[in-house]
Chain A
């Protein structure tokens, strides 16, 4: 996406993808400032009073008064755009282009269909099955073919399950082949893993990082010990909280996995919403307010299963999340208040450069299909054995997502956070759920956190610090997204 040519201010209007905070701040240098967030560039933008008022009101005279330099700055950040531009088309074109990029391939491999936990909110059905060497060989050959493809410069593998660490031997064997192939062909290879963490040891974690190119790991901790161990119950009845956090803390404190990024995911519903704050305090006490650790607070949603009894309403969740984020910030836990990059593609389901391979060698486009009763067979787009070399997977049910959004047929077509969200989850939209990320509802609180991080302090609310005109359109938009 390129910046529009700066013409007379009369030709520029505030972007539909611009959010403007309503608070004034005192900067480190003593001056007053307001802030906007341009989702087309995922940029936090400091504004003076005149710019904040002009962008809020969209008043041509006020915009004309900003001067060419300020207009140029705001246009370069896509806060101001050409009046004639069809921004939705620009954004969906960008998403289509990103999704069509074949040089970056991502493969989610499920090395096992079994999980040693039986979480109440999980939509997967876990079954034990013997490891099939032949299938595993076919998976290895497919990923190796991607790595060897001269048109591909990056291959990333996500180890998923079930619980992938139940198949650690398979992961190590395949990783050895993938890293060797990547070295041979000069292709960048990276790996990440989604795990429940219960089987981790310091040695395993360090080895996965060192030997298997694991750069990112997301593990789930749903609350303090008593809550986590009740919700994420292991099949042998033993709790996993203490062991998991101890391994993590020891690995990080000892510098044993120096480049590894760890995401702590907290799945939140009515059953644990009151336990999030104590968990945040515990994480700080355990030394997990660590630069390598990022906190991911996630509202529980339907995974094909019925979670309506425990699911939190989106706005109610977002309001509570804003409180948790403020606490996390005070504790020094790491998280991104606002998205720092626009999305290239929404998920594996919206790019044929992404695919999920289940333990049976079936290929899916959507990660919410494999192992899910009723959805599993419907979501299969191919068998590994059927695809030749590194050929992209066939189109799945959601590869037309941007056509739907671009045609204005989805709520996302009207949403100002589309460039940093991409529509979140096409499957949930089609099933009639609201998959919007919390930032859609609590962006103002998140913006406040991001601004404070820059050393700005909020000024008391009052007419002296409030921009004179409120943008009615934006207020309304907030209600209608």
Chain B
């Protein structure tokens, strides 16, 4: 058994670590885990590794490359290969203790690999987090509208879809994507949306492109009217080109849902854009989905006001 000193010092944190490893990632004895960490996160990495090893999981730690997700992905795959040796049995997972929001496709990880990321040291006891989510969900469900504020003063007014109340989602990590922790979010089906959303978090595109990942240096602004995308802006011409073609040609102009994930600071809000199901351009692009994330304010409106 590992000594007490190398486990998380706080009982709630220890519970959170075990919850992530054995419930969310579903690791068991004989499985393999690589922990990729930023400078300054060695303490957390040590807790993780010790707890995983105590559960019979083989662990390697690698230093993430803050300048290159591709390089970080390569390091993780190399470490997994070392752990694997000639043995194929057992599950494999990656845990990223990295500030920059990561994307599975940009990391070039195989779709079969489960991966989670804790961008900031925000270990929460699962029961406390569940209570926080339930509270947020209840407050949101009771409101006739929610006002989402993002960078540059952008505001988006959301009204709920009739008969589809918000719900809390807190499923296990899925292979093929890097799940951001702390896990869980309020899923809010949208009835109408008006205003602007300034996305500077993460973009995910469910196509094998290299454009997914952080929007930190190439934020995207989306203007919506009545739940449909009206205008897109982005300084990156390639990303803008893709978004414009997606919206104008492939009819990816519907805001299907909004997710709000409470974390330590402002909540992470994500818009999920989908193709108009009644008028898809092609069967090949009908399943196209793009999600745009941002750190945002999330304010249930006690009384409905006009759109900004």
- Are A28 and B238 CB-contacts (below 8 A) given A285-B245, A290-B208? no
**Residue B245 contacts which of A28, A242, A282, A332 (CB distance < 8 angstroms)?**
A282
Shortest CB–CB separation between residue B299 and chain A, in angstroms?
34
Interface residues of A in 434-460 (CB under 8 A from B): 455, 457
- Are A289 and B209 CB-contacts (below 8 A) given A224-B249, A246-B284, A281-B242? yes
B304 at the binding interface (Cβ < 8 Å)? no
**Residue A284 contacts which of B65, B68, B207 (CB distance < 8 angstroms)?**
B207
Shortest CB–CB separation between residue B89 and chain A, in angstroms?
24
Chain A contacts for B65, CB-based, 8 A = 28
B54-74 near A? 1/0 per residue, CB < 8 Å: 000000000001011011001
| Nearest B-chain residue to A245, judged by Cβ | B284
Interface size on B, residues (CB 8 A): 28
A231-254 near B? 1/0 per residue, CB < 8 Å: 000000000001001101110000
**B67 contacts A286, CB within 8 Å?**
no
A332 and B105 alpha carbons, distance in the complex (Å): 10
A479 and B283 alpha carbons, distance in the complex (Å): 48
A255 at the binding interface (Cβ < 8 Å)? no
A329 at the binding interface (Cβ < 8 Å)? yes
How extensive is the interface on chain A, given as a class? 20 to 34
Chain B contacts for A457, CB-based, 8 A = 67-68
A68 at the binding interface (Cβ < 8 Å)? no
**Residue B285 contacts which of A224, A286, A327, A332 (CB distance < 8 angstroms)?**
A286
A291 at the binding interface (Cβ < 8 Å)? yes
Interface residues of B in 268-307 (CB under 8 A from A): 281-285, 288
Chain B contacts for A249, CB-based, 8 A = 282-285
**A331 contacts B242, CB within 8 Å?**
yes
**B242 contacts A284, CB within 8 Å?**
yes
A329 and B282 alpha carbons, distance in the complex (Å): 24
Chain A contacts for B288, CB-based, 8 A = 285, 287
A1 at the binding interface (Cβ < 8 Å)? no
**B285 contacts A287, CB within 8 Å?**
yes
**Residue A246 contacts which of B105, B249, B282 (CB distance < 8 angstroms)?**
B282
**A332 contacts B208, CB within 8 Å?**
yes
A277 at the binding interface (Cβ < 8 Å)? yes
Interface residues of B in 220-244 (CB under 8 A from A): 238-239, 241-242, 244
**A246 contacts B283, CB within 8 Å?**
yes
Chain B contacts for A285, CB-based, 8 A = 207, 242, 245-246, 249-250, 252, 285, 288
| Nearest A-chain residue to B284, judged by Cβ | A249
Interface residues of A in 63-120 (CB under 8 A from B): none
**A455 contacts B285, CB within 8 Å?**
no
Chain A contacts for B154, CB-based, 8 A = none
**A287 contacts B282, CB within 8 Å?**
no
**A286 contacts B284, CB within 8 Å?**
yes
Chain B contacts for A277, CB-based, 8 A = 241
B132 at the binding interface (Cβ < 8 Å)? no
B138 at the binding interface (Cβ < 8 Å)? no
Chain A contacts for B252, CB-based, 8 A = 285
**A331 contacts B238, CB within 8 Å?**
yes
Chain A contacts for B208, CB-based, 8 A = 287, 289-291, 332
A278 and B241 alpha carbons, distance in the complex (Å): 7
**A455 contacts B246, CB within 8 Å?**
no
Chain A contacts for B74, CB-based, 8 A = 28, 455
- Are A28 and B71 CB-contacts (below 8 A) given A285-B207, A291-B208? yes
**A281 contacts B285, CB within 8 Å?**
no
A302 and B67 alpha carbons, distance in the complex (Å): 47
**A287 contacts B207, CB within 8 Å?**
yes
Known interface pairs A285-B252, A288-B284; 12 further A-B residue pairs with C-beta atoms within 8 A, sorted by A's residue number:
A28-B68, A249-B284, A249-B285, A250-B284, A278-B241, A285-B250, A285-B285, A289-B207, A289-B208, A331-B242, A332-B211, A457-B67
What are 10 A-B contacts defined by CB distance under 8 Å?
A: A249-B282, A250-B283, A281-B242, A282-B245, A282-B250, A284-B207, A289-B208, A327-B241, A331-B211, A332-B211
Sorted nearest first, the 6 A-B pairs with minimum C-beta distance are A249-B284, A332-B209, A281-B245, A332-B210, A330-B238, A286-B284
Residues of A bordering B, CB below 8 Å: 28, 224-225, 242, 245-246, 248-250, 277-278, 281-282, 284-291, 327, 329-332, 455, 457
